[in-house]
A and B are shown apart, each in its own frame.
Chain A
């Protein structure tokens, strides 16, 4: 019936395609669902609450530059806040009877 396997190859390729087309269509349309901005839609229904362009205060380039400079200076100065107190670290030795001097042989027994 299918000596060269062409029919089987075409059917199999169609199945692979249909599976992945389904995945493509799902993600094409479902992505719209979960990227839906409900707040925006809600605002459209209530136009009186919509924020007009006049309400939005435009920030000038100078202000942006000043903010950027302030942030930059703050970040570059951060590392200068270092502990300047120099201390000598004391090394505390834990007591152990094995190294205790009181049990030394030079101690004269009574």
Chain B
């Protein structure tokens, strides 16, 4: 029981189908508090579906999911108090200014001092100068930073980031990585999905590979690398990258 309470996210036997199509076929994993967990998979592997179930946007067909100790099916309101979701597309209001977006979310989270919350986050994400401007004038990176800043309002202990850097240029991607690292350093649990292997390699404490609706491996980067035969000394020594691990595992099962 104590170990169960210690984990920020527990997923057990999770299944979900869209009509005939079985997207998740029994997914199990746990995420320790304050860690960064990467769910890695190709397009269509079911990453977004899993995140939607974990964030109470979709109902599972079978299995149990507990987030911050609350059951997503029966305690959805408590789960929503504990999480925030940053979806695949920056979910910001284009017509409002950056500051107005933050104030809006702070109000909807029923916080006391929405204006101050907004100003603090603008400063924290280097958006103070742009705060009064309409979001439609922001660059992709600024929009993503604002999006993540909106997710931090109310300090939810668990944050879901669904493909946070898809479509971003390398510079913006580094900015997002920095923000995610800082989050985990402050004790927030982060579950991120990605199709970029280097992203998982850079950020995650643990990596799980979701393939055809199942988790086929789950471990630290070092553990994953050990799954392949150790490097042999040849003319060129080459450590397997995570990309090699991923493609071999996926290829073997698929």
Q: A and B, one complex? A: no
Using CB atoms and an 8 Å cutoff, list the residues of chain A in contact with chain B: none
Using CB atoms and an 8 Å cutoff, list the residues of chain B in contact with chain A: none
